[in-house]
Amino acid sequence: MLHELFTPSVQHALDLVGIFVFAISGALLAVRKNFDVFGIAVLAEVTALGGGLFRDLIIGAVPPAAFSDLGYFITPLLAAVLVFFLHPEVERTQNAVNVFDAAGLGLFCVTGTTKAYDYGLGLTSSAALGLATAVGGGVLRDILANEVPSLLRWDRDLYAVPAIVGATIVALCIRFDTLNAATSGTAIITAFLLRLAAMRYHWRAPRAWNRRSATAEEG
């Protein structure tokens, strides 16, 4: 089904763009954490490929695309080199990076859901793996950097919710046999716009009702 949505060359190009932008975010965090060049490369690779690697291992798509396609492995290294030498300039374009990151989020939640369904998973499981594809690399990045994953922090703009919405739209389209290039594009754009709106208006998920925790809040 995935190959019916986009031509192989278009799909590959979109994947590489998403991987590159995710790798930039990982490499920038490594620089902020004062990691060496190896640490920068590792965080770039993990951020870019972690979600897709997790999905492929779960569904049995082995060897995973991260290892069977050299372009998938090289692209994060190119991002790491760029950040290593030009991180002040990259930091100044953070808003643009965030926009492309939102686009990658929308793309990967859709392709992840579709690929999981192609390998025989049910709709709910497929949507869950679509979410994991989109956000898994970021979770691994934060864990390796010894931070609470952004996905779990109340003081960060919504990230998982747009991916959940995109994956759910795909699952519903599959259920009603309406998944095609147009509807999958709609799912990508919806997740993308939700993420942009969350960043613009600082939308955040609610915390526990009537919360009275004495734990100090982080800034």
- Model confidence pLDDT, tens digit, residues 112-129: 999 999 999 999 999 999
Q: Which amino acid is at 9?
A: S
Separation between Cα atoms, residue 172 and residue 175, nearest integer Å:
5
pTM check: above 0.85: yes
The string of pLDDT tens digits covering residues 68-96 is 999 999 999 999 999 999 989 888 888 88
Residue partners of 139: CB distance under 8 A and separation at least 6: 50, 149, 151
Beta-strand runs (E) in the chain = none
Cβ–Cβ under 8 Å, residues 125 and 168 = no
What is the rounded distance in angstroms from the CA atom of residue 26 to the CA atom of residue 12? 21
Largest CA distance in the chain: 54
